């Protein structure tokens, strides 16, 4: 029995019980939200993970880290180090977006070492295999795609990004994309749009959605319905192409739920601050409350080298208005494959965004972390402050780098430490 079926029958499986405890959520509410498609549990039946993760209604906002080799830079060891850093700094999930010669090796290693759920985008491997074996990704067939999905399911992937909403109708017949400042920025979206144009056929991920659902159900894999047409510029945000695809994703999400498969919905991308609320509310309405997984969103296009900050601003707003799952963005976004430091900085930025939104939304117990930190600040207990920091390594480095002259102060105000001056009275 998979997690959705159990929730529908109000059967409490050990995993659901563990999650309810971790999230301090009543088990009956958790099961109800799962059965209605408003919460999902990311776990392939055969993947052993010791940090389970549920995403959805009234739960802590989760953060995903993307890692993976590219065709230009590829090292299995380096990607495993990125996994280690991500887990150490509190990532909730990891996505292996590998492409290139080490694609299968990297994925297998990540799945075997990861204590957190692992996601992939199977169309990458299907397109690459078609290119290697048949000379072009345009020759990729429905069976090639389903074979890769089944193979990755057997290996233990917990959630798949599946771009089923990018249909032939929108690619061939509609002109919205031509009006965009930047056309298609999703890698999976670009592969599929080109395939549709070249073959003049329907997107196989849409046409054979039932076959994909059958695999997902067999392994209890959650489908992350991908936004192949997400905007790549704040000037393209919330355009007709994006909304058309979102509508399709809403239909597919409902259909998947009726077939016993959990889904989440992927979202933008690049969105100016004043459109973030609208984007989240639209998704929640169109997709019947399905969990929303946003990439950033970046609130400006000009933050190269600092895109993690732009994404954290957008992520905090998005999560505050109801997004459930943030995909991190690193400082190397749009520029290069992230380094180990980039992974750490991107993750910390997204975790700050998620937590900031969670305390504002009143997610259970989240404010206690801040309460404890404030107490440690008042008593000027730097050991405790460092321990409670979102990045204790960096906090310790900063504290020890600049020694204060007076005891129990820091070099920011020195002898005029306001907390020390007033400790007798306040």
Closer residue to ligand SF4, CB minimum distance, 136 or 418: 418
Closer residue to ligand SF4, CB minimum distance, 224 or 409: 409
Structure letter (DSSP) for residue 301 = S
What would the x/- binding string for ligand SF4 be over residues 344 to 383, using CB under 6 A? ------------------------------------x---
Give residues 85-144 in contact with ligand SF4 (rule: CB under 6 A). Answer: none
Q: CB of 405: closest distance to ligand SF4 in angstroms?
A: 11
Closer residue to ligand SF4, CB minimum distance, 374 or 418: 418
Q: CB of 374: closest distance to ligand SF4 in angstroms?
A: 12
Q: CB of 377: closest distance to ligand SF4 in angstroms?
A: 7
Closer residue to ligand SF4, CB minimum distance, 201 or 383: 383
Buried-state track 17-27, b at ≥16 Cβ within 10 A, e below 16: eebbeebebee
Sign of the dihedral through C-alpha 170, 151, 223, 190: negative
Closer residue to ligand SF4, CB minimum distance, 364 or 415: 415
- Please tell me whether residue 313 adopts helix, strand or coil conformation: helix
Helix or strand run (H / E) with residue 40? strand 39-41
Q: CB of 381: closest distance to ligand SF4 in angstroms?
A: 11
The DSSP line for 142-211 is HHHHHHHHHHHHHHT--EEEE-TT--HIIIII--HHHHSSS----HHHHHHHHHHHHHT---HHHHTHHH
Closer residue to ligand SF4, CB minimum distance, 136 or 374: 374
Q: CB of 424: closest distance to ligand SF4 in angstroms?
A: 15
Q: Within 222-320, where are the H helices?
A: 240-258, 273-286, 307-320
Closer residue to ligand SF4, CB minimum distance, 137 or 409: 409
Q: CB of 379: closest distance to ligand SF4 in angstroms?
A: 10
Closer residue to ligand SF4, CB minimum distance, 243 or 410: 410
Q: CB of 401: closest distance to ligand SF4 in angstroms?
A: 14
What is the Cα–Cα distance from 394 to 88, expressed in whole angstroms?
Answer: 14
Q: Residue 37: what are its φ and ψ, rounded to 5°?
A: 80, 15
What is the Cα–Cα distance from 333 to 344, expressed in whole angstroms?
Answer: 13
What is the Cα–Cα distance from 10 to 23, expressed in whole angstroms?
Answer: 18
The DSSP line for 72-96 is S---HHHHHHHHHHHHHTT-SEEEE
What is the Cα–Cα distance from 366 to 372, expressed in whole angstroms?
Answer: 11
Structure tokens at 343: 């992974």
Give residues 270-289 in contact with ligand SF4 (rule: CB under 6 A). Answer: none
- Please tell me whether residue 296 adopts helix, strand or coil conformation: coil
Query: For the chain, what is the total number of helices (H) and then of strands (E)?
Result: 20, 10
What is the Cα–Cα distance from 2 to 260, expressed in whole angstroms?
Answer: 8
Structure letter (DSSP) for residue 57 = T
Closer residue to ligand SF4, CB minimum distance, 27 or 413: 413
Closer residue to ligand SF4, CB minimum distance, 176 or 420: 420
Give yes or no for residue 262 binding ligand SF4 (CB under 6 A). Answer: no
Looking from the CA of 373 toward its CB, the CA atoms found within 13 Å total: 13
Q: CB of 394: closest distance to ligand SF4 in angstroms?
A: 17
Q: CB of 387: closest distance to ligand SF4 in angstroms?
A: 16
Task: List C-alpha distances in Å: 402 to 86, 386, 405, 415.
Answer: 28, 15, 10, 14
Give the number of residues in contact with ligand SF4, rule: CB under 6 A.
8
Q: CB of 409: closest distance to ligand SF4 in angstroms?
A: 4
Give residues 382-421 in contact with ligand SF4 (rule: CB under 6 A). Answer: 409-410, 412-413, 417-419
- Please tell me whether residue 118 adopts helix, strand or coil conformation: strand
Return residues touching ligand SF4 (CB under 6 A): 380, 409-410, 412-413, 417-419
């Amino acid at each position: 029995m998979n997690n959705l079926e159990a929730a529908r029958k109000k059967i409490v499986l050990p995993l659901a019980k563990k999650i309810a405890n971790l999230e301090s959520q009543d088990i009956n509410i958790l099961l109800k939200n799962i059965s209605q498609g408003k919460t999902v549990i990311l776990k392939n039946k055969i993947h052993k993970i010791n940090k389970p993760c549920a995403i959805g209604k009234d739960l802590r906002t989760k953060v995903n880290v993307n890692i993976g080799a590219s065709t230009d830079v590829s090292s299995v060891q380096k990607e495993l180090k990125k996994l280690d850093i991500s887990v150490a700094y509190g990532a909730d999930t990891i996505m292996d977006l590998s492409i290139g010669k080490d694609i299968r090796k990297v994925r297998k290693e990540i799945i075997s070492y990861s204590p957190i759920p692992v996601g992939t985008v199977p169309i990458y491997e299907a397109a690459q295999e078609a290119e290697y074996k048949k000379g072009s990704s345009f020759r990729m067939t429905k069976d090639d795609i389903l074979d890769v999905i089944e193979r990755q399911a057997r290996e233990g992937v917990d959630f798949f990004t599946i771009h089923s909403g990018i249909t032939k109708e929108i690619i061939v017949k509609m002109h919205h994309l031509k009006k965009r400042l930047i056309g298609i920025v999703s890698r999976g979206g670009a592969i599929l749009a080109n395939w549709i144009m070249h073959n003049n056929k329907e997107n196989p991920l849409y046409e054979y959605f039932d076959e994909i659902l059958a695999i997902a159900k067999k392994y209890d894999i959650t489908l992350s319905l991908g936004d192949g047409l997400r905007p790549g510029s704040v000037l393209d945000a919330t355009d007709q192409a994006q909304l058309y695809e979102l509508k399709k994703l809403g239909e597919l999400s409902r259909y998947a739920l009726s077939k016993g498969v959990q889904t989440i919905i992927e979202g933008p991308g690049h969105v100016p601050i004043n459109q973030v609320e609208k984007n989240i509310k639209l998704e929640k309405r169109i997709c019947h409350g399905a969990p929303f997984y946003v990439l950033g969103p970046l609130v400006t296009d000009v933050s190269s080298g600092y895109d993690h900050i732009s994404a954290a601003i957008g992520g905090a707003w998005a999560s505050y208005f109801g997004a459930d799952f943030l995909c991190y963005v690193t400082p190397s976004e749009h520029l290069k494959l992230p380094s180990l430091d980039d992974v750490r900085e991107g993750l910390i930025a997204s975790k700050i965004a998620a937590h900031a939104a969670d305390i504002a939304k009143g997610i259970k117990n989240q404010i206690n972390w801040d309460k404890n930190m404030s107490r440690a600040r008042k008593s000027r207990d730097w050991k405790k402050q460092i321990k409670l920091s979102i990045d204790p390594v960096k906090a310790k480095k900063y504290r020890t780098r600049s020694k204060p002259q007076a005891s129990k102060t820091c070099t920011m105000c020195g002898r005029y430490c306001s907390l020390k001056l007033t400790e007798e009275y306040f």
